[in-house]
Amino acid sequence: MKKFFEYNWQVRDEWFEWCNQLTHDELIKERQGGVGSFLHTLFHITEVEFSWIRAIEGKEDRPFHFEDFKTLPEVQSLSNELRIENAAFLQKDLLAIKDEFVTVVWDEQSYSVEDILHHIIAHEIHHVGQLSIWARDIERSPVPANFIGRKLGLSSDSVK
């Protein structure tokens, strides 16, 4: 499971780099589906991952608001900052806690840690698919989504 987090982080970093070719107006332009724009989607996947992991750890939610992150460098900096805490969590023995249940402030149900971790991974992959569609809509090649061929293995290099 840890490799899928690293995969998502690599792909997210590649999307940040890819987005450098867009104007600010293209980055924030509302698009069909998802949360609406390239920039907002990158913010959203960053914030959601962080919130769920904090919930697993029993920490208070620390919500971030898109209105406070208006540029690509600001969202990328947030991603890098939050990844440090997320990566530290992933160094724990996840098998030992996978069957524990967590309740979050934004939902009435409880979920197993294992299900939450799977949700976080699938959530980002889903939104990356939306980014890929939007890239093709503006006649640009998207970031490759291949898992095979990537150098993965949670390390200090994966945390910026």
- pLDDT reported for residue 93: 92
Q: Cα separations (Å) of 145 from 3, 124, 131, 136, 153?
A: 14, 12, 11, 14, 17
pLDDT tens-digit series, residues 2-38:
899 999 999 999 999 999 999 999 999 999 988 999 9
pLDDT tens-digit series, residues 59-69:
999 999 999 99
Residue type, 136: R
Domains of the chain: 2-150 (1.20.120.450)
- pLDDT reported for residue 156: 45
User: Of 98-102, 131-135, 148-152, which range is least confident?
Assistant: 148-152
Helix, strand or coil for residue 152?
A: coil
Output the pTM of the full model: 0.92
